[in-house]
Structure 1
Amino acid sequence: MATGVLPQATVEDVLAQLAALEDPKIRAVNERHGDDHGVNLTKLRAVAKTLRTDHALAGRLWETGDTAARLVAILISRPKEYSANELDAMLRDARVPKVHDWLVGYVVKKNPHVEELRVAWFADPDPVVASAGWALTSDRVAKTPEGIDLDALLDLVEAQMTDAPDRLQWAMNECLATIGIHHPEHRARALDIGERLEVLKDYPTPPGCTSPFAPIWIREMVRRQG
C-alpha cells in the first residue's frame, strides 16, 4: 500500500502525519527565525502534494492555528476563491514569518483582490500587515509599475526605513532594491539612499548568496542582467 496522506484525509490525519515528520533540530533552527514548527519543507510539500487541491480542508487546517498545518493549507487552497475580507483576516492572524510570506506569495498574489489589499495594507498601522503591502508593492514595481509613484516610494523609504520594525524594514529594503534593479532612471537615487542609510549593511550573508544590503543587491542583479 502506498504511504502518505490519502486524498480524503481529515484534519486529524494531516496533523498526525506532520507530527510524525517533526524534527527537533529543524524546529530549533526555525525558531531562531520566529517559525514555530519542525517539519522539513520538502517533506511538508510532499504531504500537500498527496492531498492535492482541497479548499475546504485548507480552511479547516488553517483554523487549527498550527504553523505546519497552515503551511499545508496554503499549498492546497484555491487562491482565487478567497474574499478580500477573508485574506485580510488571515494575514492579521498570520504572525509567524513563514506563514505570512507563503500566504502573500502563494495566495494573495494570485487573488483577484490583490491590488485592493496591497493599497489597504501598505498604509496599515500594524507594521507586520504593512510589510505585506510593501511586499506586494515590490511585486508591482518589478512587473507592472504603471501607476506606481516610484519617487514617492523612495521618499518613504528614505524617511522611514531606518527606524522601521524589522519585518517592515526588510520589506521596505526589498522595495528599494527592486526599484534600483528594475528602473535605471531611479537607480542612482536608490543606491544613494542605500549607501546613506546603511540598513542591513552588516547582515550576515552565507557564501554564494547575495547580501540584502541594497547597494550590493542592486549592483549584483544589474550585473547578472548583463
Structure 2
Amino acid sequence: MTAAQDVLHELEALGSEQTRKTYRRHGVTEPMFGVKFGDLEKLRKRLGRDQALARALWQSKNHDARVLAAMIADPAAFDLDVLRSWQAEAACNMQSDTLIGQLGARLPAAHTAVGPWLDAAGESQRRAGWVLVAHLTQDSPDLEDSFFADLLPRIEREIHGAPNRTREAMNRALIAIGVRSDALARLATASAKKIGPVEVDHGDTDCKTPDAVSYIAKAREHRAKQEAKQPAAKKSAAKAATAKTAAKTTKPAAKQSSAAKSRAR
C-alpha cells in the first residue's frame, strides 16, 4: 500500500456525514469523506511538507485529500505554471482557496498571476485572482502599496456586477488591502464608501458579508493597540497576524474550525 493510500484510508476514517452536509452547503461535491479542518491540520503537522505525497493526494480527486495536498505541498517544488494547473483542476472554491492561501502567495513573482486571473472568463479563475490579492497583502511585504492601490478602481467598477463568489472575494480583497497600511486604509475606505453595501448570497450557511468600512477601521485600531503594547521586534509579527485575519473576512457567526472560518457551517 502506498503512502497516499494509507492517508486516504485515514481520511476516510476521520470523515462524517455531518461534515459532508456542511461542505455540500458550501459547494463541495463528491468524492469526499467530510473531514474537519481541525483533523486535517493535525495531519498536516504530522506529515510535514511532502510534495510527492501532495501530488498523489491531489490526483486522487477526493476533496479532503486535495485540501490536505494543498496544506502539505512544498512551495519550493511549485512554480506559477503548476499553481495555475492545480487551480484549474480544483473542483470547488474551498480547494482553490486553500491552494492559493497555502501556496500561491508564497511563490516568487506570485503577483504576476493576478492580472491574468482577474481577466479570465471563468468565475473560478477570477475569484482565485482576488483571493490571491488578499493573501498577497500579508505574504508579500516587499510589494509596493501602489500594486494594491491600483486595484481599487477596478473593484469599484466591477464588484456589483461580478458573479456571486467573485464578488465575495473582491470584498475580502478590498478589506485586506485596507488593513495593509495607513495609506491603503484611507484609499480602501474611500472606495468602500463609494461601493456601498455588497450583497453576497451565501446559500444555506451562517456566513455573513462583512462591511468593509467598519471592518477596516476595527482591524487598523486593533493593530495599533497591539503594536503599542509590543517591543519593536515584535511589531512586524503583529502586523502579519492582523493582515492574516483580514484575508479571512467572510465567516459565520457561530464557532467553527480554523481553516474553514471564511466559509464553513
Tell whether the structures are fold-level matches, with TM greater than 0.5.
yes
Superposed displacement of residue 214, structure 1: 0.6
Superposed displacement of residue 202, structure 1: 9.9
**2:33 equivalent to 1:35:** no
Residue 49 of structure 2 aligns to a residue whose secondary structure is coil
Structure 1 residues 193, 29: closer, same or farther in 2, change over 3 A? same
1:164-198 CA-partner distances (Å, limit 9, x unpaired): 11221122112222333334345455334434431
Structure 1 residues 89, 9: closer, same or farther in 2, change over 3 A? same
Q: How many residues align?
A: 217
Partners of 2:145 and 2:215 lie apart in 1 by: 25
Letter in 1 for 2:214: I
**Partner residue of 2:243?**
none
Structure 1 residues 177, 83: closer, same or farther in 2, change over 3 A? closer
Larger radius of gyration: 1
Out of 94, 97, 104, the residue aligned to residue 98 of structure 1 is 94
1:194-218 CA-partner distances (Å, limit 9, x unpaired): 3443104998997xx9962111211
TM-score, L = length of structure 1 = 0.81
Query: 1:57-136 alignment to 2 at 5 Å?
Result: 57-136=53-132
Letter in 1 for 2:213: P
**Partner residue of 2:171?**
173
Higher relative contact order (CA 8 A, sep 6+): 2
Matched-pair contact (CA < 8 Å) for 1:201–1:213: no
Superposed displacement of residue 120, structure 1: 2.6
Partners of 1:173 and 1:31 lie apart in 2 by: 23
**Partner residue of 1:190?**
188
Identity %: 27
TM-score, L = length of structure 2 = 0.71
Structure 1 unmatched ranges of 5 or more: 1-7
Superposed displacement of residue 139, structure 1: 3.6
Structure 2 unmatched ranges of 5 or more: 225-265
Partners of 1:94 and 1:202 lie apart in 2 by: 21
**2:41 equivalent to 1:48:** no
Partners of 2:41 and 2:137 lie apart in 1 by: 29
Matched-pair contact (CA < 8 Å) for 1:157–1:176: yes
Superposed displacement of residue 45, structure 1: 2.5
Residue 35 of structure 1 aligns to a residue whose secondary structure is coil
Q: Please, what is the CA RMSD of the aligned residues? A: 2.9
**2:13 equivalent to 1:20:** yes
**2:4 equivalent to 1:11:** yes
Matched-pair contact (CA < 8 Å) for 1:9–1:51: no
Partners of 1:17 and 1:188 lie apart in 2 by: 48
More moved, 196-205 vs 10-19: 196-205
Superposed displacement of residue 122, structure 1: 2.8
Matched-pair contact (CA < 8 Å) for 2:105–2:136: no
Partners of 1:167 and 1:59 lie apart in 2 by: 27
